[in-house]
Amino acid sequence: MNRVTSLPRTLFDKLWERHVAHERDDGYTLIYIDRHYLGDDLPRDTFDVLARKGLRVRQPDATIAMADHYASSRGRSIMDVVDAERRELVEKLVHFTREQHVRMFALDDARHGIVHVSGPEQGLTLPGMTVVCGDSHTSTHGALGAFAFGIGASEVSHVLATQTLWQRRPLTMRARFSGAPAFGVTAKDLALAMIAQVGVAGGAGHVIEYTGDTIAALSVEARMTLCNLSIEAGARAGMIAPDDTTVAYLRGRPFAPQGTAWDDALAQWRTLRSDPDAAFAREVTLDATRVAPIVTWGTNPSQSAPIDGRVADAVDIADPAQRARVLDALDYMGIQGRQPIEGLPVDRVFIGSCTNGRLEDLRAAAQILDGRRVQVPTLVVPGSRAVQTAAAAEGLDRVFLAAGAEWREPGCSMCLAINGDEGRPGERIASTTNRNFVGRQGRGVRTHLMSPGMAAAAAVAGRLIDYRELLRDATADAT
């Protein structure tokens, strides 16, 4: 069933309607899945479900596997995985993909990396697709005009067996960003500003479409950062309509259409945008000109402030539940209400992840570190082997090493801290990742989220600082 109406439709409406296979009276719809990414951090019995039922992967060519969460940042083989238990999970993924003839980018493959970095850069995610993965930050792929979302282990098995998925149709939300961001303000800052505005549940039950002149001016890599963080606002997914920037990014990618197939795809992609009069269930606006570099101070991504601002004070919060959450966060983070953000000492810095581990992010960090030395342990992990290779070709690796930072193999690394890379209890970490939950980067670790440039500046200063002065110096030196 492909039910298309003549009413003005949003981008999401168009993608949903093109993928409907069956609708039930109870509100659930069976949708077709174009691309399924398999990671390594799934429950042990995920793949056993098919074996028990005598089933095979329905469309092996539609599935791509990578071991990213458990991938060691210190080596390129399964034997480098931190312990036997996690090594077994990676081996299980390898065995499953071989037995089911599913393509896998092995740890030593030139295409290996974090699923949400390698997939788009290989041209495996394309406009108009439905994309799923057993990882919440699958929303990243929406930057290319796809409906991309994370799914649970049982849903992973269902997609493997049927290439479809039962879903309730989410609502739509338009986030309109206007104006040119100020000097030094990045997509990470725009995302954190929006999350601070709407809250960690502000997008719950919705797919967010990002629009406006601010979004149109962003690179695809920056758009991925924005869509990646949609889940931190509680959204089901984030997406941006494909445009000339999207087309330029995808042209020539290994798995992108070629020849006449490219022309046909391009004609299809040009139709993927919200109609002018399309109605959204919710609308939010954000003036990008008023955003400054942002740092989180608490234990969820909405608890943040500009670098020249102050930590929230529970005394100022009327709602008892929210006040209690702030008090808990302040206690865990070891900071006081109304304390200035700038000047907080840091013990460690991490630059990487599916949020900020792309080449553009590493360039921003290198620009700050070039000619300077880090004062605290600093780990830089590229999001993919391709990013690693491109960074080395530009000499970024030499900049990091000369600054005293560690330059490692690609993977999720310290974002989730399940591959052996983690902070120590009580440490304060400046991080370019997506979550600052309690214990996210190690037991008792205190995480402050920020952009790559801000994290690099914290590494140089040994404390949280406004990196724009260093950035001005770097920019002046470059000219």
Which residue ranges make up each domain of the chain? 11-168, 340-478
- pTM, two decimal places: 0.97
Give the residue ranges of DSSP H helices in 28-114: 48-52, 84-100
- At 336-394, the pLDDT tens digits run 999 999 999 999 999 999 999 999 999 999 999 999 999 999 999 999 999 999 999 99
pLDDT at 244: 98
pLDDT at 4: 53
Pairing of strands 304-306, 294-296: antiparallel
Pairing of strands 406-407, 294-296: unpaired
Q: Are 462 and 444 in contact (CB under 8 A)?
A: no
pLDDT higher than 50, residue 191: yes
pLDDT higher than 90, residue 5: no
CA atoms lying within 13 Å on the CB side of residue 479: 6
Which CATH number applies to 340-478: 3.30.499.10, 3.30.1060.10, 1.10.1060.10, 3.30.70.270? 3.30.499.10
3 pLDDT band, cuts 50/70/90, is: low
Fold match flag (11-168 vs 340-478): yes
Average pLDDT along the chain: 97
- At 425-467, the pLDDT tens digits run 999 999 999 999 999 999 999 999 999 999 999 999 999 999 9
pLDDT higher than 80, residue 333: yes
- At 224-276, the pLDDT tens digits run 999 999 999 999 999 999 999 999 999 999 999 999 999 999 999 999 999 99
pLDDT higher than 50, residue 92: yes
Tally of helices (H runs) and strands (E runs) in the chain:
17, 19
- What percentage of the chain exceeds 90 in pLDDT? 96
Beta strands (DSSP E) in 76-170 are 103-105, 130-133, 147-150, 164-168
CA angle, 49 then 54 then 60, to 5°: 80
SS3 content of the chain, % helix, strand, coil (to 5): 40, 20, 45
pLDDT at 476: 87
| Cα-based distances in Å from 464 to 31, 128, 142, 400, 447 | 46, 41, 31, 19, 12
- At 34-76, the pLDDT tens digits run 999 999 999 888 999 999 999 999 999 999 999 999 999 999 9
Pick from 149, 154, 129: which is nearest to 16 by CA?
129
- The architecture that CATH gives domain 11-168 is 2-Layer Sandwich (3.30)
309 pLDDT band, cuts 50/70/90, is: very high
pLDDT at 1: 45
pLDDT at 254: 98
pLDDT at 183: 98
